[in-house]
Structure 1
Amino acid sequence: MSSPRPDLAPDAALSREEMEALQREIADAAVFADDFSFDPATLSNPLATTSSGGDPPVVVGVDQSFLTNEAGDQDRALSAVVALQGGEVVERVHAVTPLEIPYIPGLLSFREGRPILAALDELSVEPDLILFDGSGRIHFRQAGIATHMGVVRDVPSIGVAKSLLCGTPRGNTENLPAGSTVAVESNSRVDAPDGTLLGYAVQTRQYDSPDRYINPLYVSPGHRVGPETAADVALELASSYKLPDPVRLADTYADEAKRSLDE
């Protein structure tokens, strides 16, 4: 994959202030609205896509695992990428690269971005959509890892986070029925006017029990995808588990690749 905006690629040598300034530039360059040529309803249904006369879109999931040195410190990232077409896995690749900085809340893409870009470079197929295990617009500066990577590659992208980094849900998010969505809007912690729609809490699965419940995912547009479409895609691609299949399969593959290296 080529990088239309290499000037916006993450650079761990930047100061914190420079990183945050770059994120604001990325947010300005991002398109938080639908800008793609495929029908989201056909992402996991090859028959529907075939009847429309086109090939199924290629949907890619990205996740990370980490390797430790002899001292027990994390010193390398293993970035796993799984590509699906019509609901079937068509390619799996990974890359192992050094970790240059520690985890800093809000600056995840500067720790994990270059490893992810290295893994995406290994792909032979061209993604139509990329789902990341992390935030998109639901971010302090509206530039989570899905937005950063999406803008650098200029590919439609979505962030799928397990916890809420910032913003305020417009309703209760506890014990939601499966299929529910609750809008998440900006607040004083976000570089956007209060009330700006950032994304959605998305309940892909739920227990049929009053005694326990599954927390929602926090889904937001990364680049060239609107918030409503991002939520719809997460629901569409979560076939049997909480996580959408591309991200879940990338997570599984990351563990598998890590075990093979450990052996």
Structure 2
Amino acid sequence: MEALQRDIATTARFEDAFDVDLAALDRADFAPDDQTTLDGPGGDPPLVAGVDQAFLDERVVSAIVVLRGAEVVERTHAVSPLTFPYVPGLLSFREGGPILDAFETLDADPDVALFDGSGRIHFRQAGLATHMGLALDVPALGVAKRLLCGTPVADTDRLDAGDSVAIESDDRMDAPPGTVVGHAVQTRQFDSYRINPVYVSPGHRVSAATARDVVLACRGGYKLPEPTRVADAYADEVKADYS
């Protein structure tokens, strides 16, 4: 399976390759109380999908929420059996199939997808966002809550909202030394207490710089970018119904 991950990383494109001007997301407002209409090339509004999961014993809820700015365009989910054990570094083999089950129920065609997990910031450059982006052939990026591997080029302890620090490959990774594989991104910060950044990396058809910019553009009022935050909430909602 590690060899397969290396093959996936070789096939994936860690560079910008998409039709929609994702930089236009800077003009969108993802805060739910202040919606803004966003037009991409040809007047088509970019659609951003957030993907997250919640676990039910030997089953998993895979939730997808598609946003146009703060507007929820579509919500869908699948409940699938878990057929692969929990193995650090191989989570995409456990979680990827159920996510594809959810995408089979999706009507919308998202312009970019944000996954709760890593993309290129992975020992073999093939985290969940890389697997899913390649399988779906959609611009994809990973948003992780902790740093799996790689080394920040500067201190990340006291970043202000909107700041980012590049993450370079280290000796635990297959990428050439010094390769920028993602960024620590400070989406929110507070005067009364400090919160940690999220770790953003390209999955497929998106560069490390663009992945960072997309997450900054998708900020709302919370630490997680809005697409994955609302997907997380929806996954918990479905889980509660099944529980």
- Does residue 257 (structure 1) correspond to residue 238 (structure 2)? The answer is yes
Distance, in Å, in 2 between the alignment partners of 1:97 and 1:85 is: 27
Question: Please, what TM-score do these two structures have when normalized by structure 2?
Answer: 0.93
Identify which of 77, 88, 92 aligns with 2:60. 77
Q: Partner residue of 1:55?
A: 44
Contact map agreement 1:60 1:84 (CA 8 A) in 2? yes
- Higher-Rg structure is 1
Distance, in Å, in 2 between the alignment partners of 1:94 and 1:114 is: 13
Q: Partner residue of 1:233?
A: 214
- Unpaired stretches in structure 2, ≥5 consecutive residues: 30-35
Contact map agreement 1:77 1:98 (CA 8 A) in 2? yes
1:15-72, CA deviations, whole angstroms, 9 ceiling, x for partnerless residues? Answer: xxxx11110010001110111111223333553417x54111111000000112xxxx
Contact map agreement 2:120 2:126 (CA 8 A) in 1? yes
Identity %: 62
Contact map agreement 2:38 2:46 (CA 8 A) in 1? no
Contact map agreement 2:62 2:77 (CA 8 A) in 1? yes
Deviation at 1:240, TM superposition (A): 1.2
The list of structure 1 runs, each at least 4 consecutive aligned residues, that deviate by more than 2 angstroms after superposition, is 41-48
Identify which of 217, 227, 236 aligns with 1:246. 227
- Secondary structure of 1:91's match? strand
Distance, in Å, in 1 between the alignment partners of 2:227 and 2:104 is: 18
Question: Please, what TM-score do these two structures have when normalized by structure 1?
Answer: 0.86
Distance, in Å, in 1 between the alignment partners of 2:198 and 2:118 is: 10
Q: Partner residue of 2:56?
A: 67
Q: Partner residue of 1:106?
A: 89
1:192-213, CA deviations, whole angstroms, 9 ceiling, x for partnerless residues? Answer: 111011000000001113xx31
Count of paired positions: 235
Distance, in Å, in 2 between the alignment partners of 1:48 and 1:191 is: 38
- Does residue 35 (structure 1) correspond to residue 17 (structure 2)? The answer is yes
Q: Partner residue of 1:214?
A: 195
When the two chains are superposed, the root-mean-square deviation of aligned CA atoms in Å is 1.2
- Unpaired stretches in structure 1, ≥5 consecutive residues: 1-18, 69-74
1:205-256, CA deviations, whole angstroms, 9 ceiling, x for partnerless residues? Answer: 01113xx310000000000000111001111101211111110000000000
- Secondary structure of 2:232's match? helix
Equivalent position amino acid for 2:235 in 1? A
Distance, in Å, in 2 between the alignment partners of 1:122 and 1:31 is: 26
Q: 1:78-227 counterparts in 2 under 5 A?
A: 78-209=61-192, 212-227=193-208
Equivalent position amino acid for 2:22 in 1? P
